[in-house]
Amino acid sequence: MDRILIESLELETVIGVYDWERTIQQRLTLDLELGTDIRPAAADDDLAKTLDYAAISQRIARFADEHDFALVETFAERLAQLLMEEFAVPWLRLTLRKPAAVPAAAAVGVRIERGTRPEGT
Ligand SMILES: Nc1nc2c(c(=O)[nH]1)N=C([C@H](O)[C@@H](O)CO)CN2
């Protein structure tokens, strides 16, 4: 299966379990692999036949603006559901990092895979 990539997408959102986190915006970074078949788009050189990574990046930024989850798990799961529904993505791998959460770590976060890969990929 081919994949469309979005790497190190920086997002600002309210996220966290502690009271002090409910009043500030924090940075998250997102890596995304979106399963798709790129051959129709490549054959016709046509953006309409593939997943538009610019449009998807904008949608993700809007999602971050509109929500204020406690857990990175909830952000990741809800975003995966949205992307699969709105953009008809059959499979994705999403890595969400919260870089400032644990000062001794470069980042902490979650990685999830959702959906079904076509046979043999
Ligand atoms: N598995 C998780 N552990 C923790 C989370 C989280 O979202 N998932 N969040 C926090 C706090 O919000 C933390 O980021 C503040 O520094 C703690 N553990």
Q: How many domains does the chain have?
A: 1
> Which residues of 25-85 form beta strands (DSSP E)?
26-36
Query: Is the CB of 7 within 6 Å of ligand 1?
Result: no
Query: Is the CB of 28 within 6 Å of ligand 1?
Result: no
Q: Which residue has the tokens 């043999």?
A: 120
Measured in angstroms, how far is the CA atom of residue 93 from the centroid of ligand 1?
21
- Angle of helix 53-66 relative to helix 72-86, nearest 10 degrees, comes to 140
Domain limits for position 62: 2-115
Q: What is the pTM of this model?
A: 0.96
Query: Is the CB of 110 within 6 Å of ligand 1?
Result: no
Q: Do the domain assignments include residue 26?
A: yes
Long-range contacts of 49-56 (CB under 8 A, 24+ apart): 50/4, 51/4, 51/87, 51/89, 53/4, 53/5, 53/6, 56/4, 56/6, 56/32, 56/83, 56/87
Query: Is the CB of 44 within 6 Å of ligand 1?
Result: no
- d(C-alpha 13, C-alpha 24), whole Å: 8
Q: Is 98 a catalytic residue?
A: yes
Q: Do the domain assignments include residue 27?
A: yes
- Among residues 35, 51, 98, 109, the one annotated as catalytic is 98
Domain of residue 76, CATH code: 3.30.1130.10
Q: What is the pLDDT of residues 11-37, one digit of tens each?
A: 999 999 999 999 999 999 999 999 999
Q: Which residue has the tokens 């081919």?
A: 2
Q: What is the pLDDT of residues 36-93, one digit of tens each?
A: 999 999 999 999 999 999 999 999 999 999 999 999 999 999 999 999 999 999 999 9
